[in-house]
Structure 1
Amino acid sequence: MTFLFAINPVSGGNDKTVWEGGINDYFADLPHTFHTFYLNGKTDEETIRQQIAQHKPDRVVAVGGDGTIKIVATQLLGTNILLGVLPAGSANGMARELSIPSGVHESLDVLVNGTPKPLDIISVNDGNICLHLSDIGLNAQLVKHYQQYNLRGKWGYLKGVVNVLQKRRLMRVSITVGDECINRAAFMVVLANARMYGTGAVINPDGDPFDGKFEVVIFRQLSFWEIVKLFWQYRPFDPKKIEIHPATSVHIETHRRAYFQVDGEYQGRITQLKAAIQPGALSILVPHNALA
C-alpha cells in the first residue's frame, strides 16, 4: 500500500519530530511505500490535491488535530481513498472519539491494520463540513478568543473561559428539527456528530458518528464550572440544563449575530445555520474494536 502523510507542523503547538521519526521507524522494515509533506495553512487544499495526484495513495493520513483532519477529509470526499489519523494536535477530539491510541506506534498500527468504517459528516451552510462538533454561542466565542490571542494549553483555555464569561449573554434561537420548531433562550447550541469535546467532556452521551444522524444539543444554562467541564473534567453535563434532539437536518435562526465554530475553527458570526447529515460520506480507519 501507499501512504501519504499530511503533517501540520503547528497543530497544537507541538513539535512533530517525534511523529516524523516514528513514521520513518515504523515503515523501515515494511513493504509499504510512504510519503510525507507539510501543510502551511495557506495553500493546503491545493497542496493536498497535488500530492494525491502525484503519489496516488491508498491511504491519506492527517497528522495533527481536529482542524487538520477536517482539511484532509474535505479533499477525500467523493474518492475511494481511506482517511487515517495520527493524533498530533492539542485536544484530538475526533481521534479520542474513534478510540485511536495516542501513542505513535499504536496509532500507526491502526493505519496498517485497522478497520475502514463509513463516517457520517454534517454539511453546514452549503459549503462547509463538520466531522466532529460545531456550535454557536459561548464556546465558539471562546474558540475565537483562544485563536485571536494564540493561547496554548489548559491554562490558556482557562484564561479564555474567564474572559468569555464576563461577556456571556443568552441568545434567542429558533431551531427547526423536522416538523418541530423549538424557541429557546440559550447560551450555546451544538451540532454533535460525536459524544464529547476533545478533552473528554461528554455533551452527547448517545452520539455515534456512524449512525446516520447527529444531535442538536441546547445549553439553556452554563455556569463557570459547567464551562470548565468543556476542557478539564471527564463527566457528562447536567441533563437538567440541556436538551438533546436527534436530527438528520436542522435550521437555526438567532435574533442577534452569534459566534460560530466548526471542528475547533472559528468561522465568524452568523444569524442562520442550516445543516444536514451525509451518511457514510467518508471512509476512515479505526481500531477493530472502536465503537463496536
Structure 2
Amino acid sequence: MRHIHFILNPIAGKGSNFLDLALLEKYFNKKDFSIVIKPTSYKKHAIKLTQESINEKAHIIVACSGDGTINEVASCLVNSPIILGIIPIGSGNGLASNLNIPKNIHKALALIKTQTVKKIDVGTLNNLHFFSNTGIGFDAQVIKHYEASNERTLVSYIKATLKSLKKSNKLMDVETTLDDESIQHKPFLIFISNSNELGYKVSLTPKASLQDGKLDVLIVKEISAFKIFLFTVLMLFKSHHMLKEVNCYQTKQLKITLKDKLLFQIQMDGEFKMIKNQTINISILEKALKVIA
C-alpha cells in the first residue's frame, strides 16, 4: 500500500481551496492507497506537517499550493527517498509550469497517479533551499510589495512592479564572487535561477534547466529609469539580454557580500525574506529532489 499525504494551503492563489476525499478516492482506491489530507493554518505550518508525514512513513507528499508552500514541503524532502507531488493552486506556479504540471486538478491528480518521477536540482542559499529562483534587488522588492498587497492576482503583481520601479534608486553596494571573478558593483538586480520561469509565464532565465547541475545567474548593472522601463518591457518578450547592462552567467556556486549592511532583503521562490548576515553563499545540489512530473 502506498501512503500519499496531501498538504493543502487553503488560501493559496485566490483562496478558498478545498480537497474532497471522495474526489481523491476516484484516483487512489482504498485497496492500494492510504490518503491523508492536511490543511495548513499559518505560514511555515507546511514544514511541521511535512515533518509529521515523514515520521508517519508517507511515500509521496503532495503540496497543493503555490511556490511558497511548495518550497516549505520540498525543503523537508531534499536528499530523501520520499517523492514530492504538486497540485499548483498558487498565483504564479513557476516550478509547476517548468515541470509541465497542469493547473487542472483532475489532470494533476492523474499525473500523480502515474508516479513518473524526475530527479531535479536544488538551489541552496546559506542553510535554506530554493527550487525555482532567488534574488536580491529589484525582484525582492517586487515580492515585498506584492505580499503587502494581500492580493494574489496578476494585476497586483503589476502594481507591485510599478511601486518597486518608483523606489529603484536605492541600490545596494555589494561584491559578487562568481567562479574566479569578483565584481564590485551596485546592481539593480542579481537573480539566481534553477528553473526557467518566474510564474505567469514570465522568465528572466529562459535557458535555465532543473537538471543541468548549474545555476543561471542574471546580473543587471545600475541603469537609468528609461532603461529600467525598457528592461521590464523586453523581459516580457524574453529579450532583456539585449541590453548591455544585462550580464548572464552559469555557475555551480557564487558568493554575495554586502559592503555597508548586515541585512539582505531577498526573495526565494516568490517569498520575501530577510537574512541577517553580511554574506550569502549560493550553490547547487544536483538531482537532490524526487518529484512527480
Q: Could you tell me which residue of structure 2 aligns to residue 224 of structure 1?
A: 229
Alpha-carbon distance in structure 2 between the residues aligned to 1:114 and 1:239? 41
Aligned equivalents of 2:155, 2:233: Cα separation in 1:
11
Q: Secondary structure at the match of 2:92?
A: coil
CA distance in 2, matches of 1:90, 1:30: 35
**Given residue 173 of structure 1, which amino acid in structure 2 is its aligned partner?**
V
Residue number among 247, 254, 257 corresponding to 2:251 in the alignment: 247
| Residue type at the aligned position of 1:53 | N
Provide the rounded CA distance (Å) in 1 between the counterparts of 2:55 and 2:11.
Answer: 25
Counterpart in 2 of 1:260? 266
The residue that corresponds to 1:290 in the other structure is: none
SS of 1:112's partner is helix
Question: Does the C-alpha gap of structure 1 residues 212 and 238 become closer, same or farther in structure 2, counting only changes over 3 Å?
Answer: closer
| Distance in 2 between residues matched to 1:95 and 1:58, nearest whole Å | 20
C-alpha spacing 1:129/1:59, structure 2 compared with 1 (3 Å): same
Q: Is the alpha carbon distance of 1:97 and 1:107 closer, same or farther for their aligned partners in structure 2, counting shifts above 3 Å?
A: same
249-258 or 89-98, larger mean C-alpha shift? 249-258
Give runs of aligned pairs for residues 172-191 of structure 1, distance below 5 A.
Answer: 172-191=173-192
TM-score (norm 1): 0.87
Q: Return the letter of the residue paired with 2:198.
A: Y
The amino acid across from 1:85 in the alignment is I
Structure 1: distance between partners of 2:89 and 2:144:
21
| Residue type at the aligned position of 2:137 | G
Q: Partner amino acid for 2:175?
A: S
Residues of 1 paired with 2:85 and 2:32: CA distance? 18
Give the Cα separation in 2 of the matches to 1:104 and 1:209: 23
Report the Cα distance in structure 2 between the residues aligned to 1:256 and 1:13, rounded to whole angstroms.
Answer: 39
Confirm whether residue 284 of structure 1 aligns to residue 287 of structure 2. Answer: no
CA distance in 2, matches of 1:226, 1:58: 44
Give, in whole Å, the separation in 1 of the partners of 2:31 and 2:238.
41
Query: Which residue identity lines up with residue 154 of structure 1 in the other structure?
Result: L
Aligned-residue offset at 1:138? 0.9
Structure-1 residue corresponding to 2:110: 109
Task: Give 1:168 shift.
Answer: 0.6
Provide, for residues 134-188 of structure 1, a one-character-per-residue CA deviation record: whole Å limited to 9, x for no partner.
Answer: 0000110111111123133122122212221111124433211111112333211
CA distance in 2, matches of 1:60, 1:198: 22
> How many angstroms apart in 1 are the aligned matches of 2:119 and 2:182?
31
Tell me if 1:235 matches 2:238.
Answer: yes
Distance across 2 between alignment mates of 1:42 and 1:209: 24
**Contact conserved, 1:261 with 1:267, CA < 8 A, in 2?**
yes
Distance, in Å, in 1 between the alignment partners of 2:119 and 2:180 is 28
Shift of 1:120: 0.8
* Partner SS state of residue 13, structure 1: coil
User: Any runs of at least 4 consecutive aligned residues in structure 1 with deviations exceeding 6 A, and if so which?
Assistant: 18-21
TM-score by length of 2: 0.87
Count of residues in correspondence between the two structures: 282
| Structure 1 equivalent of residue 80 of structure 2 | 79
Give, in whole Å, the separation in 1 of the partners of 2:22 and 2:134.
33
Q: Which deviations, in whole Å up to 9, do the C-alpha atoms of 1:264-283 show, x marking residues without a partner?
A: 11112664321111111111
Distance 1:185 1:159, change over 3 A: same
* Corresponding residue number in structure 1 for 2:197: 196
3-state SS, counterpart of residue 200 of structure 1:
coil
Say whether 1:48 aligns with 2:50: yes
Deviation track 1:198-248 (CA, whole Å, cap 9, x = no partner) reads 111221122111111111111234523533676xx4534243242111111
| Amino-acid identity (%) | 27
Give SS of 1:253's match.
strand
1:13 deviates by: 3.0
**Unaligned 5+ runs, structure 2:** none
Question: Is the contact made by 1:14 and 1:90 (CA closer than 8 Å) also made in structure 2?
Answer: no
Query: Quick one: which amino acid aligns to residue 229 of structure 2?
Result: F
The answer (yes or no) to whether the contact 2:46–2:69 under 8 Å persists in 1 is no
**For residue 275 of structure 1, what is the aligned residue in structure 2?**
282
AA of the residue aligned to 2:53: Q
SS of 2:49's equivalent?
helix
What is the rounded CA distance, in whole Å, between the counterparts of 1:57 and 1:160 in structure 2?
39
Task: Please report how far the alpha carbon of residue 20 of structure 1 lies from its aligned counterpart in structure 2 after TM superposition.
Answer: 6.4
- State the SS of the aligned residue for 1:52: helix
Two-structure CA RMSD over aligned residues (Å): 2.3
Measured after TM superposition, the shift of residue 256 of structure 1 is 4.5
Tell me how far apart the structure 1 counterparts of residues 165 and 23 of structure 2 sit (CA, whole Å).
41
